[in-house]
């Protein structure tokens, strides 16, 4: 009869990804009376199973954490009675028992014989969980000599079991340092010799401090393996690695397993093309190894961010959040699983962890950015709309698209060119088809616009000697990444024959890169740099002949990288940099280039703020540069996921971020591009860009529907730029996010914790894009409060959180301002340069108590040291009891727009009197139907503003 077929049965609701394999009956069973009775019994059985399922569901809702895991595991194994006993009753006091919480003992080529040889358990009766898993109290290392002095806890960890990986470290040093009351730093290192540690980001070096106010505790016990981190306020364990799985510390394989509190929600771990929340009902693996690949789910992408935001508690509208950061630049897999639990598998470096105790999401991010660096402050013009295409092919075509965009009245600030402006795709050259590019850029500057070209890191190595200075000069300085023979490592990207890569860790490369950029700038006075292909990307996997056979190129454990090898479509890990092997430095190549590029731009452009847009990223990148999310597809799914990507990178400290509007790969449609133009108008970085093998997609070429959608949305963006500019100031100075999920503002509202279809600019602007094809309505979620429709000026009062379906025709994106906010605005013009010249309008949106607050930041918009040197002005607005006050917090920049109009939304009572700075003011109107009070004044906010009004 052979092996019976098997049916995949989805387990509903609690674990939709878990499946059970059930054997199917043979085909040749015939109808008989026995078969009839069998059928009757089958129906009866299914009814009974349905009833049982209802009972289990009811039990699940009323069970404690231990009972819930028992029920989850029973579902996963099909309610087999003997397995249920094993799962639920063998260790009834262990809260994390069950097949769904196994830790994988053999992540590659699992088989029973080798599994048992490792001292692990083997069980293949359940699908989609590890067959080979660690037993309880595996004890690969044992803690010794635990001490705790002045905020520093230390211990040694002695190896007890040999791992399956070569070059185990026998003795480890554990150190937990209380750096601040909210920040804990734990390092596990080789006790006998140094190992590689990343030099970016530049983290603070502080003394450990013992304080009764520390929000965390560390517990490490003699004779145990691992450690625990607890939240002081509750005594709750938020990270438990004590005798969990196995601690492994070999030369090229480091592993740590741990559990989070039951019910925890996880976010972060990037870069990835998926939802912001990490689903933990099934096992998932996230691989960090920077890679040039069009964004799709479950592959390693352009950036590596081993940061996790965790909601560790939620009860009675009260939530607690913390963050976990692993400072390591080597390739790694991070595995999440039910429990929830986590496994780190790293192939080099050290274990260097930070905990940020929050306890709100926004505080966690602020604490994280104190370690990796606050985001840079972009120039004002960079907040405008950008337009690009790979495949313009000539300056004439570039100007054609530029002209029609301007003629359509679409606000527009920055024109870009992809590599087709280069001669033979070689950096720092100009194609004959772009021979008058300099004149075009000068013209852009004359009307207040700007220009950004592509600059790849790869330098052509195939030109004749003396014919291409970037290669000859780099060779002379010896600044190219080297192969095992200390010759320039040769691969291939867009260049005609071959490519070499500058080593951005070499001090000499600083001057080399500046000189090359300066010479290009003397030909074309560009305003920023678009650094692409800097994972680094390589059309070969290694060299044309591959990579040498050694442990760097073929390590004993290869994470789940796309292509199956570390060198797939990149440089060989054995390649040599000034500060180490590419094996350790790969993930830092992009940030190294971004840092040097930004510093060079500051010098070349006479201390103007650099605009460096990079594809590859690493923690700390946002301190120097921005990011776009790469070669996304022109699909509704990628449109939707771009919201999560934007929010993730704000969490990672890179707030100046956005996706290619309308998509890069594939052909867009009119409807998709209209909706994407609306959403993209509210990316912090707003650029339309696509590939050369797709149809054109600038708004005008797609027709009036897209033009209207883009124009309407961008005009709102431009009017709100003073508010957006303040948000970037707040991000730069205080580590705040610019675009943020609703749970950052409403962590007490559990309905926001998984909401990823709408987002906010700062605390005030709610953006509800249409993300589905064929829809002219959209459902918005509104937390408790007063919300003002920015399009209609209507008021929505949410006494309790509510969902509302709103009309959203193709020319409109729903936008709401939160009551209690005060927004500075200016008129939308063709460019930010023109908009900045218009008078200021202050829009006050009263909350239910008639209060509100907000701020406005002013500087020249471009000087890199404005904040450091105090050459800026800051005005804080507050309203209470029908009194609006503008207080000058800083007066270091005088050339600010005149305050001309003040609008107070939410004042429904009849206004009988208004005063400005103590003087009766008659120049006001009050619309009782819209509840808007408008007054026209002409005032300098740096002299202070006070407006009072009375009502009857």
Q: Which are the catalytic amino acids?
A: 532, 535
The Cα 254–Cα 326 span in angstroms is 12
CB neighbours of residue 611 within 10 Å? 26
The Cβ of residue 859 has, within 10 Å, a number of other Cβ atoms equal to: 22
Question: Nearest Cα to 679, choosing from 639, 719, 641?
Answer: 639
DSSP 738: S
Distance set, CA 229 to CA 104, 234, 324, 551 (Å): 23, 12, 11, 35
Contacts of 54 (CB under 8 A, 6+ apart): none
Q: Rounded distance, CA 566 to CA 478, Å? A: 25
Cα distances from 31 to residues 1, 26, 760, in angstroms, run: 19, 13, 63
Residue holding tokens 């052979």? 2
State the residue for tokens 């060299």: 543
Contact between residue 718 and residue 829 where contact means Cβ atoms under 8 Å apart: yes
**To 5 degrees, how large is the angle CA 929–CA 932–CA 938?**
145
Place of tokens 């500019």: 725
Contacts of 43 (CB under 8 A, 6+ apart): none
Task: Please count the other Cβ atoms lying within 10 Å of the Cβ belonging to residue 63.
Answer: 15
CA 874 from chain centre, in angstroms, equals 29
Helix (H) or strand (E) holding 459: strand 459-460
C-beta of residue 252 within 8 angstroms of C-beta of residue 165? yes
Q: What is the DSSP letter of 608?
A: B
- Going by their DSSP bridges, the two strands 840-845 and 899-905 should be labelled as parallel
- For residues 796 and 780, what is the distance between their CA atoms, to the nearest angstrom? 12
The whole-angstrom separation of Cα 461 and Cα 490 is 8
**Alpha carbon 404 to chain centroid, angstroms:** 34
Rounded to 5 degrees, what angle do the CA atoms 595, 601, 604 make? 140
Burial of 381 from C-beta contacts in 10 A (0-12 / 13-18 / 19+) = buried
Q: Which of 379, 383, 371, 384 is nearest to 735 (CA)?
A: 371
Neighbouring residues of 505: CB distance < 8 A, sequence distance ≥ 6: 577, 578, 579, 580, 585, 588, 592
Distances (CA, A) of 823 to 520, 625, 924: 41, 27, 19
**CB-based contact 301:317 (threshold 8 Å):** no
3-state secondary structure of 517: helix
Q: How far apart are CA 322 and CA 237, in angstroms?
A: 12
Helix (H, G, I), strand (E, B) or coil at 320: strand
Sheet containing strand 785-789, edge to edge, reads 739-740, 759-761, 765-767, 815-818, 785-789, 795-798
Sequence length of the chain is 952
Tokens (6 digits) for 98: 């069950």
Q: Give the Cβ contact number of residue 654 at 10 Å.
A: 29
């Amino acid at each position: 009869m052979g092996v019976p077929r098997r049916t995949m049965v989805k387990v509903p609701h609690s674990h939709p990804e878990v499946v059970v394999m059930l054997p199917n009956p043979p085909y040749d069973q015939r109808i008989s009376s026995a078969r009839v009775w069998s059928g009757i019994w089958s129906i009866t059985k299914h009814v009974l199973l349905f009833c049982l399922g209802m009972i289990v569901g009811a039990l699940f809702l009323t069970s404690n954490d231990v009972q819930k895991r028992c029920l989850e595991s029973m579902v996963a194994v099909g309610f087999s009675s003997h397995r249920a006993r094993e799962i639920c009753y063998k260790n009834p006091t262990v809260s994390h028992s069950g097949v769904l919480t196994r830790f994988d003992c053999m992540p590659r080529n699992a088989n029973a014989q080798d599994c048992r040889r490792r001292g692990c358990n083997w069980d293949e009766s359940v699908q989609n969980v590890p067959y080979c898993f660690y037993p309880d109290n595996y004890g690969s290392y044992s803690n010794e000599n635990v001490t705790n002095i002045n905020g520093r806890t230390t211990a040694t960890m002695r190896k007890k079991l040999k791992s399956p990986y070569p070059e185990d470290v026998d003795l480890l040093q554990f150190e937990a340092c209380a750096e601040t009351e909210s920040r804990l730093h734990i390092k596990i290192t080789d006790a006998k010799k140094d190992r590689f540690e990343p030099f970016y980001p530049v983290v603070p070096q502080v003394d450990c401090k013992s304080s009764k106010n520390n929000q965390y505790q560390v517990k490490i016990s003699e004779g145990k393996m691992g450690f625990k981190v607890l939240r002081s306020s509750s005594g709750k364990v938020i990270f438990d690695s004590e005798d969990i799985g196995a601690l492994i510390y070999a030369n090229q394989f480091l592993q740590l397993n741990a559990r989070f509190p039951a019910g925890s929600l996880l976010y972060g771990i990037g870069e990835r093309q998926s939802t912001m929340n990490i689903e933990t009902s099934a096992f998932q693996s996230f691989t960090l190894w920077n890679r040039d690949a069009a964004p799709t789910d479950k592959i390693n992408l352009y950036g590596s961010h081993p940061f996790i935001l965790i909601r560790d508690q939620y009860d009675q509208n009260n939530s607690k959040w913390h963050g976990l950061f692993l400072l390591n630049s080597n390739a790694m897999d991070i595995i999440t699983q039910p429990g929830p639990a986590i496994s780190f598998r790293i192939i080099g470096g050290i274990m260097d962890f930070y905990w940020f105790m929050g306890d709100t999401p926004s505080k966690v991010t602020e604490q994280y950015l104190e370690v990796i660096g606050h985001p840079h402050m972009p120039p004002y013009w960079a907040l405008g709309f950008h337009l690009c295409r790979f495949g313009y092919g000539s300056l004439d075509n570039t100007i054609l698209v530029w002209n029609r965009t301007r003629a359509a009245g679409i606000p527009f600030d920055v024109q870009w060119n992809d590599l087709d402006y280069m001669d033979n795709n070689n950096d720092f050259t100009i194609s004959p088809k772009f021979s008058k590019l300099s004149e075009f850029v000068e013209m852009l500057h004359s009307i207040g616009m700007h220009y950004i070209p592509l600059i790849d890191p790869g330098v052509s190595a195939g030109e004749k000697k003396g014919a291409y200075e970037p290669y000859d000069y780099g060779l002379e300085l010896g600044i190219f990444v080297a192969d095992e023979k200390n010759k320039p490592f040769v691969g291939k990207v867009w260049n005609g024959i071959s490519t070499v890569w500058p080593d951005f860790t070499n001090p000499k490369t600083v001057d080399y890169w500046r000189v090359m950029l300066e010479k290009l700038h003397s030909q074309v006075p560009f305003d920023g740099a678009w650094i692409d292909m800097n994972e680094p990307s390589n059309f070969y996997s290694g060299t044309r002949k591959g990579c040498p056979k050694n442990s760097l190129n073929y390590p004993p454990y290869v994470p789940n990288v796309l292509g199956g090898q570390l060198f797939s479509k990149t440089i060989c890990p054995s390649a040599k940099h000034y500060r180490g092997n590419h094996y350790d430095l790969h993930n830092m190549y992009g940030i190294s280039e971004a840092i040097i590029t930004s510093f060079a731009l500051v010098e070349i452009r006479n201390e103007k703020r650099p605009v460096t847009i990079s594809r590859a990223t690493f923690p700390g990148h946002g301190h120097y540069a921005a990011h776009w999310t790469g070669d996304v597809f022109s699909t509704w799914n990628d449109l939707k996921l771009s919201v999560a990507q934007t929010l993730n990178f704000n969490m990672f400290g890179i707030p100046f971020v956005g996706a290619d509007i309308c998509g890069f790969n594939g052909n867009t449609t009119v409807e998709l591009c209209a909706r994407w133009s609306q959403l993209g108008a509210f990316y912090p970085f707003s650029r339309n860009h696509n590939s050369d093998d797709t149809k054109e997609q600038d708004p005008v070429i797609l027709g009036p529907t897209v033009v209207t959608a883009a124009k309407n949305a961008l005009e709102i963006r431009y009017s709100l730029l003073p508010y957006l500019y303040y948000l970037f100031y707040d991000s730069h100075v205080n580590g705040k996010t610019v675009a943020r999920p609703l749970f950052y503002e409403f962590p007490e509202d559990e309905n926001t914790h998984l909401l990823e279809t709408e987002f906010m600019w700062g605390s005030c602007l709610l953006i509800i894009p249409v993300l589905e094809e064929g829809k002219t309505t959209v459902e918005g979620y509104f937390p408790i409060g007063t919300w003002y429709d920015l399009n209609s000026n209507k008021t929505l009062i949410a006494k309790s959180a509510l969902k509302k379906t709103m009309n959203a025709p193709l020319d409109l994106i729903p936008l709401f301002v939160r009551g209690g906010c005060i927004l500075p605005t200016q008129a939308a013009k063709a460019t930010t340069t023109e908009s900045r010249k218009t008078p200021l309008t202050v829009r006050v949106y009263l909350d239910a108590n008639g209060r509100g607050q907000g701020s406005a930041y002013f500087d020249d918009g471009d000087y890199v040291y404005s904040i450091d040197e105090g050459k800026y002005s800051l005005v804080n607005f507050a309203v209470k009891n029908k009194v609006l006050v503008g207080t000058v917090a800083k007066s270091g920049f005088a050339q600010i727009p005149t305050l001309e109009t003040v609008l107070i939304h939410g004042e429904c009572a009849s206004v009988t009197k208004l005063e400005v700075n103590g003087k009766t003011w008659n120049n006001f109107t009050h619309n009782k139907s819209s509840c808007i009070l408008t007054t026209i004044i002409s005032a300098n906010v740096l002299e202070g503003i006070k407006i009072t009004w009375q009502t009857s």
